[in-house]
Structure 1
């Protein structure tokens, strides 16, 4: 069974529409899919009846928060899309993203860049503004040659455009997910580049506030990495999730393309399938 529980569409920073993503997942023989757009469940509005597709669709979201000054992402899986608590949280995150966009623009302008927030909003096309939209704008105005350089110079971790203080606290984020009947999952743990001691502390606090799972597999990774993450997951008594973190087709990323979960881990979907 091929399971992909982390993917993105045009509703956030992906390049495919929700229906295009589902069609691609079906073409790639994915059996179970969750669309986890950043701070939005809008993809599911476009999809309509989730039972109308020849693939099992698990309602999901990827929520932004911070822990000890570090931006982290929490995936909510198998959430109730109509739950008032999580939808209120989504609205709060939308306000936070708008405030964050203004702060990012001000910081970049202070560096002497001719950033136009109106243009960034146009690039976003009515969805929540994220750093990739600023990256596209920086390429447009000739400030950088490509997305990678935009993040390396201006938008990546620790750079001027890396604004984290707007997000709701970790206990709130996890609370929204659990209130909706969902499972809170720490997304791509290695992406935060923490020491093993710090990651262990994050997982302990995450568990203490109701977190139930971690992504043991995020895209294609080495067997050593998978083994280490699997051992950590088991040590922390968490359920294991996996996802491609798909944004757009490329030689490095494809929906449904990821390493297998270690056999010693209990899959997160075992609790709700």
Structure 2
């Protein structure tokens, strides 16, 4: 069975490794098929593809798009996209402009709580990439406000906490349309993370499918074993394809290392079922 990881991040968004380092790490971990899915940015794909060619890894062009759905942020992964597609490129550019505004709003909220210099600290952590919540989390760890980034998110950066800043992302239909227009396959990322009741989750899945979405992440870093079984059942019941991805951000910050997740549960149709040479 091939070791396939279809969700990870580089320094282009909020990962710790450059695209080249990420691919080299994946190869060392025995990953045979890898998708780079940076948040709202495809700037690392060319570098990653070159590194994959050198390291014998089959590379899939990807992205993770931020979506607002009924007041909640949902992430949609695009797999097998065309990074040169004009509609996708323009749409992602619009989101990135909004990310800068959100970063300043997060910093303003932390200022009110007495935590100063967070925008500069997050920007330093981001380097030349987009500033995201993970960069604020790393700054707060550096300053001693929490022991690790997971604790920062729980104490400071989620809804109802001091550093939370609401933001309106793109719609679900826009994200799915951009992915499909570029020849890609749309996947709901880590569905178990969203605070949705049973009925709302069903409505999200059905709306996503109606719009042309094709898959859900069944095995992913933040899913428990029970959640993987639950979403495997959802994928079979609705005829959605099943994806597998670590959501790796860097050593010490992720639930699973690259390629270290369990296999897909039995009787799921893999998102890669019709990819040449993989079945």
- In structure 2, stretches of 5+ residues that fail to align are none
* 2-structure distance, mates of 1:234, 1:172: 26
Could you tell me how far 1:84 is from its partner in structure 2? 0.9
Counterparts of 2:238 and 2:166, CA distance in 1: 27
Q: TM-score, normalised by structure 2?
A: 0.90
Deviations 1:70-115 (A, max 9, x none): 1111000000011111111121111010111111112221223213
CA distance in 1, matches of 2:89, 2:71: 25
Equivalent-residue separation in structure 2 for 1:256 and 1:74 (angstroms): 20
Deviation at 1:38, TM superposition (A): 1.0
Could you say which residue in structure 1 is the equivalent of 2:241? 239
Q: In 2, Cα distance between the equivalents of 1:271 and 1:164? A: 39
The equivalent residue for 1:187 is 189
Deviation at 1:236, TM superposition (A): 1.7
SS in 2 for 1:59: strand
1 CA distance for matches of 2:100 and 2:222? Answer: 33
Residue 267 of structure 2, aligned match among 260, 264, 269: 264
Query: What SS does the corresponding residue of 1:240 show, helix, strand or coil?
Result: strand
Indicate the residue corresponding to 1:204 in structure 2: 206
Q: Cα–Cα, structure 1 residues 261 and 127, in superposed 2: closer, same or farther, change >3 Å?
A: same
Partner of 1:229: 231
Aligned counterpart, 1:31: 32
Q: Give the deviation of 1:133 after TM superposition.
A: 1.1
Cα pair 1:177 1:184 within 8 Å, conserved? yes
Between 80-89 and 162-171, the greater mean CA deviation after superposition:
162-171
1:67 positional shift: 0.9
After superposition, where does 1:1-273 map in structure 2 within 5 Å?
Answer: 1-47=2-48, 49=50, 51-219=53-221, 223-250=225-252, 252-273=255-276
Distance 1:83 1:120, change over 3 A: same
Distance of aligned partners of 1:252 and 1:98 in 2 relative to their CA distance in 1, 3 Å threshold:
closer
CA RMSD of aligned residues (A): 2.0
The Cα shift of 1:48 comes to 5.2
SS in 2 for 1:216: strand
Quote the offset at 1:170 in angstroms: 1.2
Unaligned runs of 5+ in 1: none
Give how far 1:203 is off. Answer: 0.6
Task: State the Cα deviation string for residues 105-133 of structure 1 (Å, max 9, x = none).
Answer: 12221223213423322221121101111
List per-residue Cα deviations over 1:41-71 (Å, max 9, x = no partner): 1211323546454111000011111111111
1:145-167 CA distances to partner (integer Å, 9 max, x unpaired)?
Answer: 54334222221244243334231
> Take 1:97 and 1:70, find their aligned partners in 2: how far apart are those partners?
16
Alpha-carbon contact 1:220-1:259 (below 8 Å) kept: no
Q: Quickly say closer, same or farther: Cα 1:207–1:13, change in 2 above 3 A.
A: same
What's the TM-score, normalizing by structure 1?
0.92
- Deviation of residue 204 (structure 1)? 0.9
Tell me, yes or no, if the aligned pair for 1:219 and 1:259 is still in contact at 8 Å: no
Displacement of 1:219: 3.0
Tell me the secondary structure at the aligned position of residue 217 of structure 1.
Answer: strand
* Residue aligned with 1:269, SS: coil
